[in-house]
Amino acid sequence: MAAVAARAGVALNTVYTSVGGKPALIEALVDESTTDETIESALAAMAGSTDPAGILRRLASTTGEVTRRQAGTLRILLENRTAEPVVAAAADRATARYRARLHQVAAHLAALGAVPADTARTEQILWFYFGTGAWTTVRELGWDWPEAADWLATQATTALLKPGAAG
């Protein structure tokens, strides 16, 4: 909390008065990162699409964009989850929200008849390709965001879609 106050250039009491304690600050970070307006806009666009490969391209670009913008929050959650129970709980909530949105995309792909797997397995495969671990890995390899999004979308399309559904 002292580091937050110092970075904001305010007194420590100002942080506690305006945000609350560490649990409230962590929850605010999670809420901000998981309610990004880009997410809802992309979900609506994907829900209205009948192009399975296009849905996966949009999912790749959107998850990459949001992950890039929220990298600081993700780093805090992932690096501190084992040391702080409050952070672990917040990280679990953020992950559950992320996976619930991937489940929505999986259900839409299943409804389109584009995937051979059921919705639960499709969501797991989406998490494999577009979850935080995938983005962390491609960034550690030095890939730029667009290159990573293109590659992940191509791999997910190959892994998930029935022949002929890839457009």
* Assigned token pair, 143: 């890939």
Share of the chain above pLDDT 70, in %: 96
Higher confidence at residue 34 or residue 123? 123
pLDDT in tens, 1-13: 677 677 778 887 8
Least Cα distance to 33 among 65, 81, 79 occurs for 65
* Assigned token pair, 43: 């979900």
pLDDT at 29: 76
Question: Under DSSP, is residue 165 helix (H, G, I), strand (E, B) or coil?
Answer: coil
Q: Could you tell me where the DSSP H helices lie in 81-143?
A: 85-111, 119-130, 132-140
Question: Mean pLDDT in the chain?
Answer: 89
Provide the b/e sequence for 65-75 (b: ≥16 CB within 10 Å): bbbeebeebbe
State how far the Cα of 40 lies from the Cα of 47, in Å rounded to an integer. Answer: 10
Higher confidence at residue 114 or residue 14? 114
Q: Across residues 145-163, what is the average pLDDT? A: 96
Label residue 37 by pLDDT band (50, 70, 90): confident
Question: Under DSSP, is residue 20 helix (H, G, I), strand (E, B) or coil?
Answer: coil
85 burial type by CB count under 10 A (0-12 exposed, 13-18 middle, 19+ buried): exposed
Label residue 167 by pLDDT band (50, 70, 90): low
Given a cut of 80, whether residue 151 has pLDDT beyond it is yes
State how far the Cα of 78 lies from the Cα of 88, in Å rounded to an integer. Answer: 8
Q: Residue type for 60, please?
A: A
At 50, give phi and psi (nearest 5°): -115, 10
